[in-house]
Amino acid sequence: MNLIERCPDGTIKYRNPFSGTECWYTPGRRHRPVHTEGTSVPQLLKKVDVEGYCTFCPKNYFYTTPEKSRVINIENFLQIQRMLTANQIFAQPALFRRISNLFEIISIDYWKKNYSYSLTSQQIKMKENYLSSELGREHVRSLLEHITRRSSQQKARIEDSALYELADGFFGGAHDLILPQFHFRPDAVTDHDLYSTGEMTAFEHHIYTVLTIDALSDIYEQNRFVRFAGVYTNWRRDAGATLEHLHRQILGLDFWGYSIGRCVRQVSANPEVFNDYVNYLKNQHNLAICENDYAVAVADIGQPFSTVAVFSKSSGCRPFEHTHREVEGFSEILLSIHAALGSGEACNEEWYYPPRDSDCFFPWFVLIKWRKNRHAGIEGTTRLYIDTYRPEEIRDMMIDRLHLLRTSGKFNSLLIGKNGIREKRSLKYNSKKSS
């Protein structure tokens, strides 16, 4: 495996075997600070009992679609609740909740008209339960009228007779969001103190991941035409977010997508390609950032943006094929990278795993892409990406911050940097058989 080429002038060319992209580090081009604090002046926050800063905040539950599920804390016992009525959702705030995207990328009509999809009995039950109360019907009606106003500029009341079918997208769609309770950190002082993934406790991030995997599994179960469901987060506007309130998205698709297709082909040609790659980055190029028994984080190469990759070490390949403890361990590594990057930095989180109808398997891995720069015309023309940071610098930045976080008691159980496990075949996936 030779994916790195060093030129005499200092340019370094990196190639990623899975995405097929090439990224060049060009010396002297760096012109931005590593950490920006944003361009606006921080404004002091007024303390409120219940946050209502955006439509994803707990004060505005009725501005979002009916909840498909939520996690609540009952006397320190966490519980996933499903099929809540409109009257029940205000009874107590949810720590995390799953809702349908009000403006789906792929609408329910796509599945209905192209695949003759119809709601499952579980989805119909959920819809009937929600629409059985006057409050539920008014909630759904107000959302549908909002969509109509935005799409056709028309203001018309939707009658009960039309409500039942028009509501299908809220209960039977395959584009969901996972929302945490908080908009700002609980100890926020200014409006720059947003609640990012990295601000979560290990416990919170574990719950967040569990609810995401629960939703992912459910989308596959409810819609048999979904071949791959993408899981992703766009954090901050520079990474494509339209709202500052953290949200993870799950989008069911009827195709694999370019990168997933390449992963399947790579592992089909060489079953050990993922172990070879992690070994190449970690042991040959010393790019390990941190690891535990369940996952390893490395500074990745050849990506369009500076990227950290987190690979699962488990024998199960899809997220929902991991045990509870494996998910917890993976979640801890993923959280540590977000915490080290910091909430001020825009990033994308992308999940990769074998599609439902693939008979070649590769490990679940997540990429965290630091969106500090924007692509320009040359990338569109050539697909050549330029980075101003070398993977070694990303590794060092992450490791320095993890050590700093450790002084405040966080991530004590992780093996950081060179202290990681020197194992040539650390990923336990079997390319021919999942779990």
Could you give the 3-state DSSP secondary structure of residue 203? helix
Residue 155: alpha-carbon gap to chain centroid: 36
Residues 153 to 192 in contact with Zn ion, rule: CB under 5 A? 183
**Residue 70 vs 245, nearer CB to Zn ion:** 245
**Residue 178 vs 260, nearer CB to Zn ion:** 178
Q: Is 54 in the site for Zn ion (CB under 5 A)?
A: yes
Q: Which stretch binds Zn ion (CB under 5 A): 47-55, 130-138, 157-165, 388-396?
A: 47-55
CB 260 within 8 A of CB 198: no
| 91 contact partners, CB below 8 Å, separation of at least 6 | none
Q: Which stretch binds Zn ion (CB under 5 A): 56-64, 133-141, 256-264, 417-425?
A: 56-64
Total residues at the site for Zn ion (CB under 5 A)?
6
Q: Is 53 in the site for Zn ion (CB under 5 A)?
A: yes
**Residue 94 vs 287, nearer CB to Zn ion:** 94
Q: What is the DSSP annotation of 241-274?
A: -SSSS--EEEEEESS--HHHHHHHHHHHH-TTHH
Q: Where are the alpha helices (DSSP H) in 30-153?
A: 108-115, 121-131, 134-152
Q: Which stretch binds Zn ion (CB under 5 A): 57-65, 76-84, 135-143, 398-406?
A: 57-65
Give dist(CA 128, CA 336) in Å, integer: 42
Q: How do strand 67-74 and strand 415-416 relate by DSSP bridges?
A: unpaired
Q: Is 57 in the site for Zn ion (CB under 5 A)?
A: yes
CB 295 within 8 A of CB 312: yes
For Zn ion, the binding residue among 97, 205, 206, 245 (CB under 5 A) is 245
CB 67 within 8 A of CB 97: yes
**Residue 92 vs 284, nearer CB to Zn ion:** 92
Q: Closest distance between Zn ion and the C-beta of residue 163, in Å?
A: 27
**Residue 57 vs 144, nearer CB to Zn ion:** 57
Q: Which stretch binds Zn ion (CB under 5 A): 49-57, 76-84, 127-135, 142-150?
A: 49-57
Q: 120-159 mask for Zn ion (x: CB under 5 A)?
A: ----------------------------------------
Q: For residue 5, what are the CA distances in angstroms to 17, 146, 168, 278, 287?
A: 14, 54, 53, 18, 16
Residues that bind Zn ion in the complex, under the rule CB under 5 A: 53-54, 56-57, 183, 245
